[in-house]
């Protein structure tokens, strides 16, 4: 039987005119048969830190009082061999020239999703992709993303990407980890200095990536924490 993987995709500052220059797309992925074990471990870390079972882990909630919880979650991600992350950083989306490439921001968004997910997908495996529900268009976005991913690899029967489904992040501990990771990358990309707790977490993550800046391109074959800093026509080091 082919291997089956769950992919949890989140995005930050993806709207065209939100007044924020950087945009980050990110996905945490793991084997389907490990998702229950991973979710249980995340809940155990929450319980150890005396937060409610239904507490939603989010980068925007990082504070001095929750630093121990978020530090343990970061360490757990890097320590568990079944968890992997892939991110794409667009440093300044205000510099995009959609007209030059005969596209709109909507079209470009799906190209970026493809750029994010293509290195993850093995044609000999199956994938179930879960999107964080952002708005009323999430269902249509899921259908379009599955079509783009499948058609780009001539999988017209959609046998590789078996599902692209919007879910609520509060219901998925693994999707919450994706939010945490892309939040840290986005904070770094924006050169923010407003929270000592967030800066402490970023430093902890960069220690785990052997000092590599979170918002910079990693080795292409880096399998644990893989990042592409994108620009039109190529990537920057």
pLDDT tens string 214-226: 999 999 889 999 9
Please report the beta strands in 152-206, taking only residues with DSSP state E, as ranges in sequence order: 161-167
Would you place residue 63 in the very low, low, confident or very high pLDDT band (cuts 50, 70, 90)?
very high
pLDDT, tens digit, 9 for 90 and up, residues 17-61: 666 778 899 999 999 999 999 999 999 999 999 999 899 999 999
Is the per-residue pLDDT at 236 higher than 60?
no
Asked if 206 and 218 touch (Cβ cutoff 8 Å), the reply is: no
pLDDT on residue 210:
86
pLDDT, tens digit, 9 for 90 and up, residues 132-161: 877 656 677 778 888 888 887 767 778 889
Section 57-78 average pLDDT: 97
**Which strand (E) or helix (H) includes residue 26?**
strand 23-31
First to last CA, the chain: 39
pLDDT on residue 91:
87
- All structural domains of the chain, each given as residue ranges with its CATH number in brackets, are 4-235 (3.30.420.10)
CA distance 17 to 105: 10
Is the per-residue pLDDT at 16 higher than 60?
no
pLDDT, tens digit, 9 for 90 and up, residues 81-130: 999 999 999 988 877 777 777 777 778 888 888 889 989 999 899 999 99
pLDDT on residue 105:
77
């Amino acid at each position: 039987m082919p291997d089956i993987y769950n992919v949890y995709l989140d995005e930050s500052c993806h709207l065209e005119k939100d007044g924020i220059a950087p945009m980050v797309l990110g996905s945490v992925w793991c084997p389907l048969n490990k998702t229950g074990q991973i979710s249980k471990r995340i809940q155990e870390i929450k319980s150890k830190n005396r937060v409610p079972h239904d507490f939603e882990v989010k980068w925007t909630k990082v504070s001095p009082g929750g630093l121990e919880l978020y530090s343990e979650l970061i360490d757990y991600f890097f320590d568990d061999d079944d968890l992997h992350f892939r991110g794409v950083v667009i440093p300044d989306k205000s510099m995009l020239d959609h007209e030059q490439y005969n596209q709109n921001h909507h079209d470009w968004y799906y190209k970026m999703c493809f750029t994010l997910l293509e290195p993850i997908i093995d044609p000999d495996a199956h994938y179930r992709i879960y999107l964080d529900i952002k708005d009323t268009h999430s269902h249509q976005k899921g259908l379009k993303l599955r079509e783009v991913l499948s058609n780009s690899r001539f999988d017209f029967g959609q046998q590789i990407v078996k599902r692209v489904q919007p879910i609520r992040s509060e219901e998925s501990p693994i999707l919450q980890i994706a939010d945490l990771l892309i939040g840290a990358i986005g904070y770094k990309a924006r050169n923010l200095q407003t929270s000592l707790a967030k800066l402490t977490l970023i430093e902890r993550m960069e220690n785990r990536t052997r000092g590599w800046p979170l918002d910079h391109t990693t080795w292409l074959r880096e399998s644990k924490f893989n990042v592409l800093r994108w620009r039109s026509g190529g990537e920057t080091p």
